[in-house]
């Protein structure tokens, strides 16, 4: 899936620098600026930090129509389920609502006034980041960061880099040791069942490393108490 980021008339160099950095963080394929109010200069590059080489992926056009491609998702802090043009989805709903589009174009408006209604009409969906009703408008670069993270998490995150979940085999071994220890030390059968049920839920949330550590500890306890030997006999 190709991810494109479109900024309509961006106004701040600092925000622009942060956004270029974010584009590299989350491997955006293309950044398009519609009539930016500044030149990309040393100040922008300073805030782009190690993402400054991503300037090569930035292009400037004069019209929003020239920047749109594929599935077009506009963003706004001003939304309403009573206004079809401002009816919205939230970032984590993207996979459910649109599947895996060939090209995903994310459109962000001006820091000062966002996107106009005419610009919103050019998009297929409106995306909204829920925030406090007292101050729901996010800084542009912060909003870009949240949306790009959700897109990255949904479509491009390498699951191999995440903590490995515990195997069912290890969970079963922990439960066996726990059951034996509870039978040894807890006389109330109903209480044993409650404790085992709580432990099972806890283990389902644990990583392979965490469950492995618990298995090692309970195994040692069983050995000291002779439960392992008793089982073998």
For 66-111, what is each residue's pLDDT tens digit?
999 999 999 999 999 899 999 999 999 999 999 999 999 999 999 9
The single-letter DSSP state of residue 162 is: S
Section 201-227 average pLDDT: 87
- Per the CB < 8 A criterion, the answer to whether 64 and 119 are in contact is yes
The whole-angstrom separation of Cα 36 and Cα 38 is 6
Confidence of residue 221 (pLDDT cuts 50, 70, 90): confident
Q: Is the pLDDT of residue 48 over 60?
A: yes
pLDDT of residue 226: 79
Q: What angle do CA 205, 209, 212 make, to 5 degrees?
A: 95
Among 20-24, 132-136, 182-186, the range with the most confident prediction by mean pLDDT is 20-24
What pLDDT score does 204 carry?
87
- Does an H or E element contain 181, and which? helix 168-185
The pLDDT of residue 222 is 82
Mean pLDDT calculated for residue range 112-128: 95
Q: Is residue 231 very low, low, confident or very high in pLDDT (cuts 50, 70, 90)?
A: low
Banded model confidence at residue 225, pLDDT cuts 50, 70, 90? confident
pLDDT averaged over every residue in the chain:
91
Instruction: List the beta bridge partners of residue 232.
Output: none
Query: What's the start-to-end Cα distance of the chain, in Å?
Result: 59
Q: For residue 57, how many other CB atoms are within 10 A of its CB?
A: 17
| Sheet with 58-61, edge to edge strand ranges | 58-61, 30-34, 2-8, 103-108, 71-75, 125-127
Q: Residue 130 pLDDT more than 60?
A: yes
- List of domains in the chain: 2-161 (3.40.1280.10), 168-232 (no CATH)
* Overall average pLDDT of the 143-160 stretch: 90
Given a contact cutoff of 8 angstroms between Cβ atoms, the answer to whether 35 and 9 are in contact is yes
Residue 227 pLDDT greater than 70, yes or no: no
CA distance 226 to 138: 61
The pLDDT, as a whole number, for residue 224 is 83
Please give the full DSSP string across 74-86, using - where no structure is assigned. EE-S---TTSGGG
Whether the per-residue pLDDT at 150 is higher than 70: the answer is yes
- Per-residue pLDDT at 230: 59
CA distance 223 to 64: 70
Which residues in the chain belong to E strands, given as ranges? 2-8, 30-34, 58-61, 71-75, 103-108, 125-127
């Amino acid at each position: 899936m190709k991810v494109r980021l479109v900024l309509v008339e961006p106004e701040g160099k600092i925000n622009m620098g942060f956004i270029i950095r974010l584009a590299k963080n989350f491997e955006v394929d293309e950044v398009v600026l519609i009539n930016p109010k500044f030149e990309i200069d040393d100040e922008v590059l300073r805030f782009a930090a190690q993402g400054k080489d991503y300037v090569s992926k930035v292009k400037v056009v004069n019209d929003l129509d020239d920047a749109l491609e594929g599935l077009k998702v506009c963003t706004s802090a001003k939304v309403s389920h009573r206004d079809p043009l401002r009816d919205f989805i939230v970032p984590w709903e993207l996979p459910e609502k649109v599947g895996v589009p060939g090209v995903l174009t994310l459109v962000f408006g001006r820091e000062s006034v966002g996107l106009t209604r005419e610009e919103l009409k050019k998009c297929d969906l409106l995306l909204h980041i829920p925030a406090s009703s007292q101050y729901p408008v996010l800084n542009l670069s912060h909003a870009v960061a949240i949306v790009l993270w959700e897109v990255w998490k949904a479509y491009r995150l390498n699951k191999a880099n995440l903590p490995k979940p515990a195997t069912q085999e290890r969970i079963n071994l922990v439960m066996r040791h726990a059951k034996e220890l509870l039978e040894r030390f807890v006389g109330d059968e109903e209480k044993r069942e409650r404790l085992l049920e709580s432990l099972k839920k806890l283990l389902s949330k644990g990583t392979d490393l965490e469950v492995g550590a618990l298995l090692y500890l309970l195994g040692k306890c069983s050995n000291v108490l002779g439960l392992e030997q008793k089982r073998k006999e």
